[in-house]
Amino acid sequence: MITRRSFLKACAAAPLVAALPSVAMATAVTPFPLTASKTKKRLVPGDGYQDASVWAFNRSVPGPELRFKKGETLSVDFLNQLDEGSSVHWHGIRNINAMDGVAGLTQPEVMTDGQFRYEFPLKDSGTYWYHSHAKTWSQVARGLYGPLIVEDETDPIVDQDIVLMIDDWLLADDGTIDEASFGSLHDWSHGGRLGNWLTVNGQSHPTIDVPKHARIRLRLINAANARIFGLNIPASAFLIAEDGYPTPVQPKQDVVLGPAQRADFIVDLGDTNLTINETLNGGPYPAVTLNVIETNQALVTKEILKQPRLESPPTSIDVVIPLHMQGGAMGNLREATFDGQLRPIRELVQNYGKAWAFNGKIGKHHDHLAKINIGQTVSIEVWNDTRWNHAMHLHGHHFWIQTEDGEFLDGKRDTYLFQRGEKANLVFIADNPGLWLFHCHMLEHHAAGMAGVIEIS
């Protein structure tokens, strides 16, 4: 497979590229066309490598950057030109349930040459993203994702606003996608599909031009199937948001992002280039370089960043949902219920590709974890009783995180990375009616049983 040496050699030869271009989004009057199709893309630069066959939105990986103002309406006409069904999920958005994009739950799959209009108000500002939500373990790994940015008039003023979508790809020696590894039971029962090639905005170690002494906003998005990234920003950097939700402004240079998680930073540049490194996976590896250049651009005044007003967590809970997570390799799950029948774990893995369970049950979209009345305060009391990390994502809501000692972390999230053995409560107000998926965003874990539905009515 591709080695560290070849990785670093190819990174050194990588071309100069720009940040993702923004799309001046249409309103509900004129929907924006978003097409899923197959195309070719060079993932590994240099001689001896081939173009990879990727699946892409509008023939681009990542897909077009969709940028709105808070309060506007997103209107997108999705066209599927793949040879299998697909859909689009708008990750992190407190959406209308019918627009959530979960094939088999909130809508049927959009079949080949089919079309579906997604249209909903954007109630929250922040950094979000969109991705396929049909056969996600395959379609997302092939490139079906893109950024969704919702701006607010109260956002810090910056000279440049840059989105960085970070991904890893499992590639063969010639730089093409390793097709034979899709559906690997090893991946499904272990850590998920882990790649061997790092890209940012679809490029290997891209370089982005930025003005000297500028103040920039970096929006980091982990688009990988299962890889957990550690990123280091060696500069004057301040964390201001996680998963689109504001956090207390704090100086910070390092962040860990599980699959689907996001983090926003304000960075004050100097007069030298800045390389952001990936540090958690045997690195440091250079992920992206900000190339400082002389410009005639008038720079913003670097005002002191204001602390946000954060919602306080609730003081009482109406409904408790206990969630005992079991399964996976080296786990303690001996049997689980699947399709109404108790089956041994060996049979579940070998015959059905299922390896994980919630409360002794293999999850599917029709399996309800709980039925909640609108307006109730809910605590999902999660125990990760496995040997693996899990990035747990709740659709349609943001939640507070209460640790095992009873303390709440700052801010709210839509995805939380549970360490093995960890216990924590995910607390939210059920103010959005519908059928909402709760699942692991290590996408192979989701496919292998780590999913359930919370019904709010």
- For residue 433, how many other CB atoms are within 10 A of its CB? 16
How many whole angstroms from its chain centre is CA 74?
19
Determine the straight-line distance between the first and last CA of the chain, rounded to whole angstroms: 50
- What does the pLDDT read at residue 19? 59
State whether the Cα torsion 226-334-351-359 is positive or negative: negative
Domain spanning 319-456: which superfamily? Cupredoxins -  blue copper proteins (2.60.40.420)
Residue ranges of domains in the chain: 8-293, 319-456
Q: Write the CB contacts of 135 (distance below 8 Å, at least 6 apart in sequence).
A: 84, 85, 86
Is the domain spanning 8-293 CATH 2.60.40.420? The answer is yes
The CA-based angle 50-53-56, given to 5 degrees, is 135
Quote the CA–CA distance of 55 and 214 in Å, as a whole number.
36
Q: Which H or E run includes 29?
A: none
DSSP 42-77: --S-STT---EEEEEETTBSS-PEEEEETT-EEEEE
Domains 8-293 and 319-456 share a fold: yes
Percent of the chain with pLDDT over 70: 93
Find, among 401, 397, 400, the residue nearest to 435 by Cα: 397
Give the neighbor-by-neighbor strand order of the sheet with 423-429: 356-358, 319-327, 377-384, 423-429, 400-403
Instruction: Give the pLDDT of residue 134.
Output: 97
CA angle in degrees (0–180, nearest 5) for 276-53-148 = 50
Q: What is the DSSP letter of 419?
A: P
Tell me which H or E stretch contains 97: none
pLDDT on residue 12: 42
- Write down the pLDDT at residue 21: 53
Question: In the numeric block, which tokens belong to residue 328?
Answer: 């996976």
What does the alpha-carbon distance between residue 260 and residue 86 come to, in Å, rounded to a whole number?
Answer: 19
Neighbours of 194 (CB within 10 A): 17
Q: Provide the b/e sequence for 128-159 (b: ≥16 CB within 10 Å).
A: bbbbbbbbbbbbbbbbbbbbbbbeeeebbebb
List C-alpha distances in Å: 47 to 10, 15, 155, 175: 9, 13, 44, 10
- The residue written with tokens 């924590």 in the block is 424
Beta strands (DSSP E) in 235-308 are 236-242, 245-251, 254-257, 262-268, 274-278, 285-293
- pLDDT recorded at residue 24: 44
Cβ-contact 440, 391 below 8 angstroms:
yes
Measure the CA–CA gap between 285 and 132, rounded to whole angstroms: 28
pLDDT of 282 = 86
pLDDT tens, per residue, the chain with 457 residues: 344 434 444 444 444 444 565 554 444 458 999 999 999 999 999 999 999 999 999 999 999 999 999 999 999 999 999 999 999 999 999 999 999 999 999 999 999 999 999 999 999 999 999 999 999 999 999 999 999 999 999 999 999 999 999 999 999 999 999 999 999 999 999 999 999 999 999 999 999 999 999 999 999 999 999 999 999 999 999 999 999 999 999 999 999 999 999 999 999 999 999 999 999 988 799 999 999 999 999 999 999 999 999 999 999 999 999 999 999 999 999 999 999 999 999 999 999 999 999 999 998 776 789 999 999 999 999 999 999 999 999 999 999 999 999 999 999 999 999 999 999 999 999 999 999 999 999 999 999 999 999 999 9
Spatial CA neighbour of 311 closest among 219, 418, 149, 428:
428
